[in-house]
Structure 1
Amino acid sequence: MCSTEENAAEVQSTSADPALILELKTRRPPSLEGRPGCETWSVDFSPDGAWFAWSMGHGIVWVVAWPLDSQEGQRGEVDRADKSFSCGHPVWGLAFGPRASKAEKPPSKGNDNNGDALLLATGLENGVIKMWNVLTGVSVLELQGHEGVVRNLIFPPNGTLTLVSSSRDKTLRVWDLAHKGKKVQVLSGHKDWISCCCVSSDCSMMATVGRFDRMVCLWSLRSYTYIRNLTGGAHKTLYLLSACDFSPDGALLATAAFSGASWWIDLWDPYTAQKLATLTGYFEEYGQNQISSIQFSPSGLHLAIVTDDRALGIWEPGKSALSMQTKADRDSNGLCCKYHPQGGVIATGTRDGHVRFWRAPQAVPGLRHLCRAALRHSVSTHQVEPLPLPKRILEFLTYRDISSHVSPHSH
């Protein structure tokens, strides 16, 4: 269970919302109360779901064993104790890395005889990326090069010691941690802040959205080159972009945007640059409150949506209504979200430095969905289209049937 000492956190589980499982509330020394910099900009679960980390503000990252009521920490496993990392600067992005084997072990400043290590990357306001060994609590590496806030950090899901970072300095960097970060690819193309970055499941593509330049850029993670801009300047009105995420099979890319009057979510085919659907009608009740974060569920059946006046909404692409939405809460603005790797739970971070865990809708994927996900994980749209299949099946495999289920309010 989380420590309740000062500058740590306390657990609260009472709420009128039945979807709320529990909440971690930051306890700060009196000297920090009311001061800016307490936001939880990023949260993450480790790949195996055994750890949870969040940036609780004021440069502190807290890491706890998951689930929080686990008894493993009481069985003599010292490395399962809660841990905190003082990063020295506000933390805007964080990400767990893969467990490194002896053959591919990250650089370490201290002796590590565990045979493996669980890395945690933290992106700081001053542009530095600090790498931590979660099991030992030691800072093992600092990556320098960004000239602005490091907003997003991602370890591609192929298990390699590669780290992707995006920054307000308008660049994207791909670091080779096996070589202590000395091998780095710098990708430029955005004209302003990069709001969000995501990597496809087959690790072939990266997508980035620029908050003010209105660009949705696709990049090759194999050749480290720019592929295309999905928006192409089609919108005539002023709008901002805030978030993006690939579906687990990599065949869909969701992006969130704001026009000044309402928010919408676009669903794209990243291979063809075709916009499959624009979803707006579901979010009219949010008014001018922005979408802060979106993420597909591990099954790919749902999309989590966090706004700055409502903790969480869950939408199933193709349906005419949200599957779940929490009550409006303007006192605790939502900033980020993350699904547990096994699904069923979503963590959301708030502007006041707290974390909430929600019970997510769960559905057993149908055989049709499982077959499509297995195929699209390794087969692009260009490879699917020539197949001698009935039109209806081709539309299903390429997600082009989604548009036929879009709300009448969408366009």
Structure 2
Amino acid sequence: MCSAERNIDLQPILSDPSLILELKTRRPPSLEGRAGCETWSVDFSPDGAWFAWSMGHGIVWVVAWPLDSEESQAGELDRGDKSFSCGEPVWGLAFGPRPPKSPALSHKNTQSKGDRLLLATGLENGAIKIWNVLTGGLLFDLRGHEGVVRNLVFPQNGKLTLVSTSRDRTLRIWDLKHKVPKVQVLTGHKDWISCCCVSPDCSMVASVGRFDRMVCLWSLRSYTFIRNLTGAPHKTFYLLASCHFSPDGALLATAAFSGSSWWIDLWDPYTADKLATLVNYCEIYGQNQISAIQFSHDGLHLAIVTEDRALRIWELGQKGMVMQTKEDRASNGLCCNFHPLGGVVATGTRDGHVRFWKVPAVVPTLCHLCRSTLRLSVSTHQMEAMPIPRRILEYLTYRNIPALLQTPCSPEDDWGS
């Protein structure tokens, strides 16, 4: 059921120059601080015009973006914001592409193509509900998972395909073009799946198991297992929290824990080589669990959210860490997502609130733009077969960052040098 009644506050925060806005939910006092109020997932629509977050207690709010006009803060503007009551706690959500007309949609919705924007919600009971955002209609109620649906991803290739992961140790690939969706089940993990992501060319899916020490790559074309990435011999994965592909698909970042250390590794998904370890978090920031990591859409930044509610942003080039927000132990940080047009990153917390942060502005170099464009369609193996100078090959394959294996990024480090 969809409701347009506003029960959120938009609060500009002036204490931190990087903090643009904070969304706070209006809950009855009896629900404040109780289990079930967490914001486990946030997402922007592909065109950046909408923002959705799971505000707790089975409710998902979708608001028009941007949020910071004077009229919207005063509640004087009818923005078309919507809420969806899912009936169960919502752990994962994702916007889908604006789909073409298809029998699967036409039997539930007679609106034109421009009136359809999909939002998938993954529930605690294993169900997945897919909504038409603009009309509030429920399009699909997908059943099959036997545990919490933790992650949902729509591959951005324009097709009606949804990837879901669950605590039941499986990934499911849903084909929504049909009136009765077809599903492929991928098995191999031995414990909960914490996170999944899809490569930008939509050829691979990466998934990490929270306790099974596995970083798995799967083919999104043949629905088969490709390989399991493993750490260096002296490191044994104890807990894997998150993963994300760079926008060109040439890097896969993973956040892992072993013994008393958190670290972030960069992998080449084509060769299974570990290219760099960005930082040992316990040595610098203390034993704060990493909840989520994500590359920005230009590939210049990597956002890291930790349990102390702090957001740290690394510029994966010359400057290392370029932003660190104030720690706030009143509520853990749980998730993050960049706006598709850049400039803003949203973070969700355990108390059901969302904060929007201004991302430091960086002008990409011509070398970076060329590499990103080329690597989006050329694999590492294809790059290595080209008759190009070794120094250029190392740059194009991200193998010019061995110094990051020894020390955290510093102003002297330059991936393009």
TM-score range, shorter chain: over 0.9
1:384 and 1:171, CA in 2 relative to 1: closer, same or farther beyond 3 A?
same
Shift of 1:34: 3.1
What letter matches 2:263 in structure 1?
W
Partner residue, 1:323: 322
Q: Does 1:95 align with 2:79?
A: no
Rate the CA distance shift 1:232–1:267 in 2: closer, same or farther, 3 A: closer
Match of 1:199 in 2: 198
Q: Distance in 2 between matches of 1:239 and 1:119?
A: 36
Stretch moving more, 145-154 or 230-239: 230-239
| Residue 49 (1) aligns with residue 45 (2) | no
Worse-matched range after superposition: 315-324 or 31-40: 315-324
Q: Which residue of 2 aligns with 1:365?
A: 364
| Structure 1 residue 285, shift from structure 2 partner | 3.1
The TM-score normalised by the length of structure 1 is: 0.93
Following TM superposition, by how much is the alpha carbon of 1:281 offset from its aligned partner in structure 2, in angstroms? 4.2
1:33 CA displacement: 2.4
Q: In 2 relative to 1, CA 193–345 (structure 1 residues): closer, same or farther, beyond 3 Å?
A: same
Change (3 A) 1:313 1:107: farther
Residue 212 of structure 1 corresponds to which residue in structure 2?
Answer: 211
Task: Give the aligned partner of residue 168 of structure 1.
Answer: 167
Structure 2 gap segments, 5+ residues each: 410-417
Segments of 5+ residues of structure 1 without an aligned counterpart are: none
Partner of 2:111: 112
C-alpha spacing 1:201/1:71, structure 2 compared with 1 (3 Å)? farther
- What's the secondary structure of 1:30's corresponding residue? coil
Partner amino acid, structure 2, of 1:120? L
Could you tell me which residue of structure 2 aligns to residue 252 of structure 1? 251
Indicate if the aligned counterparts of 2:309 and 2:349 stay in contact, CA closer than 8 A. no
Gap change, CA 1:33 and 1:238, over 3 Å in 2: same
Alignment of 1:377-392 (within 5 A): 377-392=376-391
Q: Partner letter of residue 255 of structure 1? A: T
Q: Is the Cα–Cα contact under 8 Å of residues 252 and 267 in structure 1 kept in the other structure? A: yes
Stretch moving more, 123-132 or 319-328: 319-328
Determine whether 1:86 maps to 2:92.
no
Asked if the contact 1:79/1:136 (under 8 Å) is kept, the reply is no
Tell me which moved more, 32-41 or 270-279: 32-41
C-alpha deviation, 1:236, in angstroms? 5.2
Distance 1:290 1:320 in 2: 24
CA RMSD after TM alignment: 2.3
Report what 1:23 is aligned to: 22
CA 1:179–1:80 in 2, change beyond 3 Å: closer, same or farther? Answer: farther
Q: Secondary structure at the match of 2:129?
A: strand
Q: Which amino acid aligns with 1:213?
A: D
Partner residue, 1:394? 393
Relative to the length of structure 2, the TM-score reads 0.91
Check 1:269–1:28 CA distance in 2 against 1; reply closer, same or farther (3 A cut): same
Whole-angstrom CA distance in 2 between matches of 1:304 and 1:21: 17
| Pairs aligned (count) | 403
Deviation at 1:317, TM superposition (A): 2.3
Q: Structure 2 vs 1, CA of residues 104 and 294 (structure 1 numbering), >3 Å: closer, same or farther?
A: farther
What secondary structure sits across from 2:156 in the alignment?
Answer: coil
State the SS of the aligned residue for 2:310. Answer: strand
Question: How far is the alpha carbon of 1:321 from its aligned partner?
Answer: 3.4
SS in 2 for 1:109: coil
Q: CA 1:182/1:5 → structure 2, altered by over 3 Å: closer, same or farther?
A: closer
Q: Percent identity?
A: 74
Q: Which moved more, 1:369-378 or 1:99-108?
A: 99-108
> Shift in Å at residue 332 of structure 1?
2.3
Task: Answer whether contact 1:63 1:84 (CA < 8 A) is retained.
Answer: yes
**Aligned-residue offset at 1:72:** 11
Structure 2 CA distance for partners of 1:279 and 1:67, relative to 1, 3 Å = same
